[in-house]
Amino acid sequence: MQRKAFKMRLKPGQVAEYKRRHDEIWPELAHALREAGVSDYSIFLDEETLTLFAIQKLAQDHTADELPAKAIMRKWWDHMAPLMEVNADNSPVCVALPEVFHLA
């Protein structure tokens, strides 16, 4: 099992709406994530900086790199784009975070 961590950033005033939309995550999106080998996926918020910190576990044979090609993923990005910093294709601006310590 591989762990992946990254950060994203919300736009000011969007915390409540971001949380609401994730509380109501679309079942077909959750299915696509699980099918791609993504599990134990959490997102935390630093309210002071509006930085989102995400961590997820990836199965050894994961296909998470193929998620951006899925229509449901692009639809979710479009849905979330007004709330956060995004790239030209509405994918969230993500900065990978290297692991420097882990206590198992």
**Residue 62 bears catalytic tag:** no
* Catalytic residue of the set 22, 31, 79, 102: 22
The CATH number of the domain where 16 resides is what? 3.30.70.100
The identity of residue 69, as a single letter, is A
**Span 47-103, pLDDT tens digits:** 999 999 999 999 999 999 999 999 999 999 999 999 999 999 999 999 999 999 999
- Whether residue 80 is contained in a domain is answered as yes
> How many domains does one find in the chain?
1
- Whether residue 102 is contained in a domain is answered as no
d(CA 60, CA 84) in angstroms, rounded, equals 30
Return the sign of the alpha-carbon dihedral for residues 42, 69, 15, 102.
positive
- Whether residue 104 is contained in a domain is answered as no
CA neighbor of 39 nearest in space, from 61, 23, 21: 61
d(CA 53, CA 83) in angstroms, rounded, equals 15
Q: pTM of the entire structure? A: 0.93
- Whether residue 51 is contained in a domain is answered as yes
Residue 52: domain span:
2-97
Q: Around Cβ 84, how many Cβ atoms within 10 Å?
A: 18
The identity of residue 86, as a single letter, is V
**Span 33-57, pLDDT tens digits:** 999 999 999 999 999 999 999 999 9
